[in-house]
Amino acid sequence: MLKRAVFISCFDSYDNRVKAFVELFEQKGYETRYLYADFHHMSKCYNNNTYENGERINVVPYNKNLSVKRLYSHYIFSKKVIKYIKIYHPDFIYCMVPPNSLVKEIGIYKQTHTEIKLVFDIYDMWPESFPYSRYSKLLQLPFAYWGELRRNYIRQADVIFCVSEEGKKLLVPEVYGKPVKVIRPAIPEGEMPEYNPREDVFSFVYLGMINHIVDMDLGEEILGALAKKKRTLLHIIGEGQYLNEFVARLEKDGVEVICHGCVFEQKEKNMIFSLCNMGLNIPRKEIDSTMSLKAIEYMRAGLPFVNNASGEIRKIVEEDEVGINIAGDNIEEIISWILKLGKQDYMKIHDKCVNSYKSRFLTQNYAEIFDVLLR
């Protein structure tokens, strides 16, 4: 009888991660299904993505990243996924997390279907990656409950994947001896954007949403100081509830800003990257992110970047010299470093970015990882 495998991603991460796993299982003779939400988190619009083996799950739309409506949308997705699973009867389940509600629903299912193989792939950690210490004590209880949805059921998996060594350290206490394996994010390599850094202008790019996790004060401080020395330009690929405020603050400091909106086509994104010297990665310092995806995309594009993220990406910046880390009071040092960069310096760091990406993120043996699991 043909074995069945289900792959689940609320945020439709098919091309970035799931596709390689699906293809591997199909090569092993499995019938596969890919379950994903029909609402796009970045654009806040319904998407029309279709896949040969895909099942689009209709969910409730939401406008704000931190909202009850978003949590309700994820709850609906989780309930519909588990309903599908109960009908389909898979032999194997791969589930990307967040949302945490999926961990609870599928964890409970696994308790009564112990014969199936289950993998939770912890791509991000909620609420740890939210700056919840900034919010009132009234929100501490719901945030704690939110985290418990993952912590109480994650150990039902046969194997747990995560995206960094930092994430592994955080997860080990939760899983009661279950194996935790690091599989780093790998954006499809594709065509590299042209890199031709300009010396007449400081040209930066920020990739992502301008929301509650972005340190706008830090971005304004760095770019505003550079704008006093030379023409400074910021390309923003993304939108977000604080976009207009951020743009207004930067323009007041003399920074030119070009907003491209949400861009998903890699060719269009590469075109924007080719106009830039460096990337900006400026989450708030209290954000406990295990791996910065925008930093990985900068590296894939060969873009040096200014980094304020913690975790493993900070170590990579330091060891592989792919940019510069912000360390509290070293803003003047960062500005001085950027001011001294010439074209040859940019090109050297560009090469280091490309080599670091290839060596750290494109050398993972998925077949070996899953072979151990499926014996």
pLDDT digits (tens, 9 = 90+) for 112-130: 999 999 999 998 877 666 6
> Helix 343-361 vs helix 312-320: angle between axes, to the nearest 10 degrees?
130
Predicted confidence at residue 61, as pLDDT, reads 92
Where is average pLDDT lowest: 63-72, 232-241, 286-295? 286-295
Interval 268-305: pLDDT, tens: 999 999 999 999 999 998 776 667 889 999 999 999 99
CATH numeric code, 202-360: 3.40.50.2000
Cα–Cα separations (whole angstroms), residue 288 to 125, 166, 283, 309: 8, 10, 10, 8
Rounded Cα gap, residues 247 and 214, in angstroms: 13
pLDDT of 137 above 70: no
Distances (CA, A) of 276 to 24, 206, 339: 37, 10, 15
pLDDT confidence bin for 184, thresholds 50/70/90:
confident
For residue 117, the SS3 value is: strand
Residue-level pLDDT at 189: 62
Q: Name every residue whose Cβ is closer than 8 Å to that of residue 131 and which is 6 or more positions away in sequence.
A: 212, 213, 284, 286, 287
Domain spanning 4-183: which superfamily? Answer: Glycogen Phosphorylase B; (3.40.50.2000)
pTM to 2 decimals?
A: 0.86
pLDDT at 83: 98
Is 134 a residue whose pLDDT tops 60? Answer: no
- pLDDT of the residue at 130: 66
What is the rounded average pLDDT of the residues 14-32? 87
pLDDT-based confidence at residue 142 (cuts at 50, 70, 90)? low
Three-state secondary structure call for residue 155? helix
User: What pLDDT is recorded for position 353?
Assistant: 97
353 within 8 A of 298, measured Cβ to Cβ: yes
The stretch 226-231 carries a mean pLDDT of 97
Domain with CATH 3.40.50.2000 in the chain: 4-183, 202-360
Buried-exposed string 119-133: b where 16+ CB fall within 10 A, e elsewhere: bbbbbbbbbbbbbbe
**What whole-number percentage of the chain has pLDDT above 70?**
91
Instruction: Tell me the one-letter amino acid at 7.
Output: F
